[in-house]
Amino acid sequence: MAIVIRMPEVLAGAVEAVLSQWMMQEGSEVSVGDTLAEIETEKANVDYQAEEQGRLARVLVGPGDTVEVGAPIAVFAAPGDTDDDIDAALAAAGIGQASGGSEPSAAAPADEPAEAPTVDPQETPKGAPAEPSPAQSGPVPPVPGGRIYASPLVRKRAREAGIDLSQVTGTGPGGRIVKKDLDAVAASGTAAQGTSAPAHSAVAAPTVPAAAMVSGDAEYTDRPHSGMRKAIARRLTESKTTVPHFYVSADCRVEKLLAARTEMNEATGVKISVNDWVIKAVAKAMLDVPDANVIWREDALRYFNRVDIAIAVSVEGGLLTPVLRGVEAMGLTEINSQVNSLASKAREGRITQAEIEGGSFSISNLGMYGTDAFQAILNPPQSGILAVGAARDAAVVEQGSLVAGKIMTVNLSADHRAVDGALAAEWMKAFRHYIEHPLALLA
């Protein structure tokens, strides 16, 4: 029996994703666990592994297409299935597709009827050049009056942006118009609606990214949100409005830590950062106060047996939080190596979804920018995030006398559903101990 394969929710809360490329060709036999396609989310690329076994009979979306979560992307056929069986499966999923065709056709949203393909009202005369086949590859220039290959989602976005698809050159298979083609048109400001829409028309005016505008005496520039920026905005708004934050602060003396770091770097030749020491101190404090190594779930508190810590990494257009796993068993040099590797992958766009998921705790360090102190927003479902400021000169009291010292201010943001105030204070006391007695981190 033919089975319709749908776009998975590879990122929690995501409503759409880009199918970057198919890893299997039509007609290939697919086993459970085989990598079927590569999917691009707002933050990372994900290998989508087949959950069903069968023959990849039809591909319904092309490389580069943006597809809503739950929309059909392919059809698997069982031995003995015919084109009629495949068409029946598509019809049951609400998709009409000609027998034997391979043109992608994603399902339209439930509240929006599927749009018929744009075709010339006149029949193509005999002897006229045939329209491009979806199997062809490479950019295909638009043909006046010719058929437009685009998914309903691309058509919807084009309408919202006021882009005339008949003027867009598709770079997908067979000249199919994909999301990146719309982005290129929007960036250049071309291929807008050829005629101005009437006042009652629902077609939006063209939106040109990064266009300088003038309002009164003020000039400004609008830059459309990237997918990553939208994801950050959505998740942090959800965190701040649904998770009860509370904060615990501490000023840590770091003269001993800085001296130990200098000595260790000279002895090993490895440039261990202050942040590496902080990561190790967080893991040690979790071992001392295991009740803090927890996340809130609706049915229970989940306690972890190892310490997985997410590290905030600044990347172009936003930030990512790759996760170090099993930090309690790592030495400082291994922590340094792992952090550098994950940070490089994040900045180069090579990070995978699996590498940014999980963990019960995050660290955000702005000390290298000279920030003295700040408070961070929790990264759900994690229950804690430590905001680390710069080590700075300060007057401190020792045995009743003022002396010069080095202070580093840290702020813990905690989820009060999972961590109470006394527990957070106990954890902070343990963390401060390790920062102020760095040799204990080498044990």
Give the residue from 86, 1, 14 showing the smallest Cα distance to 43: 14
What is the C-alpha R_g of the chain?
Answer: 28
Give the C-alpha separation, 40 to 350, whole Å. Answer: 11
Distance, in Å, from the CA atom of 286 to the CA atom of 360, rounded to the nearest integer, reads 10
- Phi, psi of 428, deg, nearest 5: -65, -35
Show the tokens assigned to 336.
Answer: 């340094």
Tell me, yes or no, if 416 is annotated catalytic.
yes
User: Taking Cα atoms as reference points, which of 371, 213, 379 lies closest to residue 205?
Assistant: 213
Contact 69, 16 (CB under 8 A): yes
Residue position matching structure tokens 């001993």? 256
Residues 6 or more apart whose Cβ sits within 8 Å of residue 8: 39, 48, 69
Q: Which one of the listed residues 245, 416, 433, 437 is annotated catalytic?
A: 416
Q: How far is residue 165's CA from residue 169's CA, in Å, rounded to a whole number?
A: 8
Helix (H) or strand (E) holding 47: strand 45-49
Looking at 233-352, which runs of residues are DSSP E strands? 245-253, 294-296, 301-303, 309-311, 313-315, 318-320, 323-324
Alpha-carbon distance of 18 to 175, in angstroms, equals 18
Angular region, 70: left φ>0, alpha ψ -120 to 50, beta rest: left
* Closest C-alpha to 312, from 269, 244, 365, 246: 365
Separation of alpha carbons 276 and 251, rounded Å: 18
Q: Tell me how far the alpha carbon of residue 40 is from its chain's centroid.
A: 8
Active site residues: 416
